[in-house]
Every structure is written in C-alpha cells, then in structure tokens.
Amino acid sequence: MTIAIGAYGRYSAIRDWNLGDVDRRDLRPADPAALSGVGRRMHATAVRDGQGPFADGIAHIFGHADCPHCACVFDIAEEYTSANRPVMWGCSDGGDGY
C-alpha cells in the first residue's frame, strides 16, 4: 500500500508494478484547528509563510486513510511513526541493554 500526498493527488492505493496505483481511496485530512504538537507547528508555519498547498498536505499527513486491502481506517502519521521507529535496545530487559 502507498500513501500519496502531492500534486498528483491525496490518496491511499495499492501500488502495482504494471498498473500503477490502483484501488485509490481519498485521504481524510485532519481539521487544522484540531492539530496539536508538531502537526500544529508545521501547519502554522506553512500558513504563516504563504505555503497553502504545503499546509494542505500537512493536514492530510496528520489525517486518516482507508486501507485498500481491508478498508480499516488508520491515522497516517501515527502509522508512519510506528513503522519507522528505531529498534530500542534493552527495552525488554529493564532498559540497561543486558
């Protein structure tokens, strides 16, 4: 599955080598007024700097998507963060690494 946010669209899809992005599903952007933390700062900075399309993309990154495989709805930023989190050494043994 892929998430696309850009001039070509804002969607989730299954990426096929021959067919491209198939079974596209529109993303659900976050309400900019409801953003918090990093999302709020990034959106506010983009708006302040007159970068409307970038601010809109940020709202989509912090929004929700439908999985084309199973139709479950998930938080895009949260899923990306958990999928790309580095391995934490020592977490299962009390944190001392041994």
32-47 pLDDT, tens per residue?
999 999 999 999 999 9
Is position 10 within any domain?
A: yes
pLDDT computed for residue 39 by the predictor: 95
Position 95 in a domain: no
- Higher local confidence (pLDDT), 88 or 66: 66
Give the residue-averaged pLDDT of 63-67. 95
Strand partners, 35: none
Please report, in angstroms and rounded to a whole number, the separation of the first and last CA atoms in the chain. Answer: 37
Q: Give a yes or no: residue 56 inside a domain.
A: yes
**Is 97 a domain residue?**
no
pLDDT at residue 98 tops 50:
no
Predicted local confidence at residue 43, as pLDDT: 97
Residue 72 lies in a domain: yes
Domain that holds residue 77: 2-86
Using CA atoms, how far residue 76 sits from 3, 67, 94, in Å, is 8, 10, 31
Q: Is the pLDDT of residue 78 over 50?
A: yes
Residue 9 lies in a domain: yes
Number of domains in the chain: 1
In a domain, 93, yes or no: no
- State the Cα–Cα distance between residues 97 and 26, nearest whole angstrom: 43
Res 67: pLDDT: 92
Q: Is residue 23 part of a domain?
A: yes
pTM of this prediction exceeds 0.85: no
